């Protein structure tokens, strides 16, 4: 079943009519920055992580996926935060079947049947967003994300989709994002202007770098939009 994209991923109480801040324009600019972050190869698959929970990584992932369909015909958003998944709540879809279930599927992947992919369409563009939720809870998420089967699925998805965004767990809580960051084209690191501890952010970034992740940059969330510097949401992580 195809749904219209209408999930709300920002708190309307935090935005007044007087604000000239365009939330989705920020994500369109972020998409462009990612595209131009590397001249050596195309950035097709990215993962999004943070140092701690509640820093806004899942909102960044879902909003980025939503604006990506304006440019890409088929966009896939995967919820790989298997311990505390939220993408099914953001998009208001079932989490009965997802990536953990698909890992056990041996037959050919079909976007239209099987119930794994939730499809969304925006009338303003021809692009489609496919959401693959986390699915059934598993006892060992990191082992699943380190498996050859997961790598095979990502390679298969590269053939099926034009752009792929993976929502990963925070790094200081668990190490699940590490194996994912090693097989994607780039990693976005989310930092909360209100909540993130600088030393914890540095530790998380060091962990990514030590494991060979291509850190594209940092996305600053929960910024005071009344500040003149609100547009500096994206920048080099160094």
Q: Is 69 a member of any domain?
A: yes
pLDDT in tens, 190-223: 999 999 999 999 999 999 999 999 999 999 998 8
The arithmetic mean of pLDDT across residues 70-78, rounded, is: 97
pLDDT in tens, 7-52: 444 444 444 443 445 678 889 999 999 988 877 788 999 999 999 9
- pLDDT of 4 reads 63
**Domain count for the chain:** 1
Domain that holds residue 85: 41-235
Domain CATH for 174: 3.40.50.300
DSSP letter for 115, please.
S
Instruction: Show Cβ contacts of residue 62 under 8 Å, excluding neighbours closer than 6 positions.
Output: 7, 9, 77, 87, 90, 91, 167
pTM to 2 decimal places: 0.88
Q: Is 36 a member of any domain?
A: no
Q: Is 75 a member of any domain?
A: yes
What is the average pLDDT value for the chain, to the nearest integer?
87
Q: Is 12 a member of any domain?
A: no
Q: Is 207 a member of any domain?
A: yes
Q: Is 227 a member of any domain?
A: yes
Q: Is 183 a member of any domain?
A: yes
- pLDDT of 142 reads 96
The number of beta carbons lying within 10 Å of the beta carbon of residue 28 is 17
- pLDDT of 236 reads 43
pLDDT in tens, 161-179: 999 999 999 999 899 999 9
DSSP assignment of 5-72: -----S-GGG--TT----HHHHHHHHHHHHHTS-SSS---EEEEEESSTTSSHHHHHHHHHHHHTTT-
Q: Is 34 a member of any domain?
A: no
């Amino acid at each position: 079943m195809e749904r219209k994209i209408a999930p709300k991923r920002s708190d309307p109480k935090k935005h007044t009519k007087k604000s000239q801040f365009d939330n989705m324009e920020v994500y369109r600019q972020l998409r462009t920055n990612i595209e131009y972050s590397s001249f050596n190869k195309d950035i097709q698959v990215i993962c999004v992580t943070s140092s701690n929970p509640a820093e806004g990584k899942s909102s960044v992932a879902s909003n980025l996926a939503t604006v990506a369909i304006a440019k890409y015909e088929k966009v896939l958003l995967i919820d790989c935060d298997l311990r505390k998944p939220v993408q099914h709540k953001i998009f208001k879809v079932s989490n009965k079947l997802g990536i953990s279930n698909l890992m056990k599927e041996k037959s050919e992947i079909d976007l239209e049947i099987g119930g794994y992919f939730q499809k969304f369409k925006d009338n303003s563009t021809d692009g489609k967003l496919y959401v693959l939720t986390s699915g059934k809870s598993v006892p060992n998420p990191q082992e699943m994300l380190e498996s050859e089967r997961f790598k095979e699925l990502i390679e298969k998805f590269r053939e099926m989709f034009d752009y792929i965004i993976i929502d990963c767990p925070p790094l200081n809580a668990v190490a699940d994002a590490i194996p994912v960051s090693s097989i994607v084209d780039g990693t976005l690191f989310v930092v909360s202007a209100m909540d993130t501890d600088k030393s914890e952010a540095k530790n998380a970034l060091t962990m990514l770098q030590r494991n060979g992740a291509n850190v594209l940059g940092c996305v600053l969330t929960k910024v005071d939009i009344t500040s003149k510097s609100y547009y500096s949401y994206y920048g080099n992580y160094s």
